[in-house]
Amino acid sequence: MVGTQQEREEKVSLELTEEILQSMETGMVFRDYNGRISSMDFHKTSSYLVTASDDESIRLYDVSGAACLKAINSKKYGVDLVCFTSDPTTVLYSSKNGWDESLRLLSLNDNKYLRYFKGHHDRVVSLSLCSRKECFISGSLDRTVLLWDQRAEKCQGLLRVQGRPAAAYDDQGIVFAIAFGGYIRMFDSRKYEKGPFDIFSVGGDVSDANAVKFSNDGRLMLLTTMDGHIHLLDSFRGTLLSTYNVKPVSINSTLEASFSPEGKFVVSGSGDGRVHAWSVRSGKEVASWVTYETEPHVIKWAPGSLMFATGSSELSFWIPDLSKLAAYVGRK
């Protein structure tokens, strides 16, 4: 019997320790990409993972079976950012061709477009779906953030920004955050047109925002920036709790970081291709891995699981090596 997501997260909260995190290594690697992986997303309630790559492919994986189920090519439009809707067979993705910045809702079942979302005039650099509702948010180099309903082709709202934006919904879909220019602006999703209800500073780091994310319980948020900073904040008070530092990333790359399911750890890529992990409680780095890459990985922790994935020129699943753990040695 499959447990609920909450049960799986509680299970992880009992098991994921510094020692287990330090033991993690690549357990499965998919090397059949002909370009860098630009984005990936785990479905929240199934065992599916979707990736987007510079080789213009969208690939669907079953993580539990460690198998690629399907590869779909987007040769005409290219593909940059990708994320699941609530339906694990439907994804939303952004183009990468320099002439059409539409977002597309794609059925993976029959490779058919269900809807186009036109509104941006430059590359989309941020995409976040609301897990509780049929809405999503997109941020672009055209200095706009657009709010959408999956059921309508025209955007439902427009917010102008002064810089490259990073945007994200919290897990409940009650608030969303937009980061740019050294600040994170917090909006009530029901009355965003009134402007932000709070503005948080990230300590003078005005380099381009790359990604903003909430922890599963909504209490924490992180912001990554081009200068190689990963800022951890209390999402209610706006207090800057920690800043983790890695190698800066190039203007064409994205520094990504991800909370573990229970929010105790943060894993991230780095401009030199390393993978890092920090303890939220202590603010200290607890693990670091050297890889064969020289550019930052995209990185996501699997929901309710002792596994995270990294994407570069290949896709890697990272799992604990229990043989390294004293507490597990000798167990059957």
pLDDT tens track of the chain, all 332 residues? 344 455 444 444 447 999 999 999 999 999 999 999 999 999 999 999 999 999 999 999 999 999 999 999 987 888 899 999 999 999 999 988 777 889 999 999 999 999 999 999 999 999 999 987 889 999 999 999 999 999 999 999 999 999 999 999 998 899 999 999 999 999 999 999 999 999 999 988 999 999 999 999 999 999 999 999 999 999 999 999 999 999 999 888 899 999 999 999 999 999 999 999 999 999 999 999 999 888 889 999 999 899 999 999 999 999 998 887 766 555 54
| 246's tokens | 């890695």
Reported for 13-19, long-range contacts at CB under 8 A and 24+ positions apart, including other chains, are 13/261, 13/262, 13/264, 15/306, 16/260, 16/261, 16/262, 16/264, 16/265, 16/306, 18/279, 18/286, 18/287, 19/325, 19/326, 19/327
Cα 123 to chain center, whole Å?
18
Q: For residue 102, what are the CA distances in angstroms to 75, 78, 120, 124, 140?
A: 15, 11, 7, 9, 11
Supply the pTM of this predicted model: 0.91
Find, among 12, 92, 86, 105, the residue nearest to 45 by Cα: 86
Cβ(157)–Cβ(145) below 8 Å: no
Q: Tell me the C-alpha distance between 286 and 76, whole Å.
A: 43
Angstrom CA distances, 158 to 17, 92, 179, stand at: 42, 19, 15
- Other Cβ atoms less than 10 A from the Cβ of 291: the count is 17
Residue 194 backbone phi and psi in degrees, to 5: -80, -5
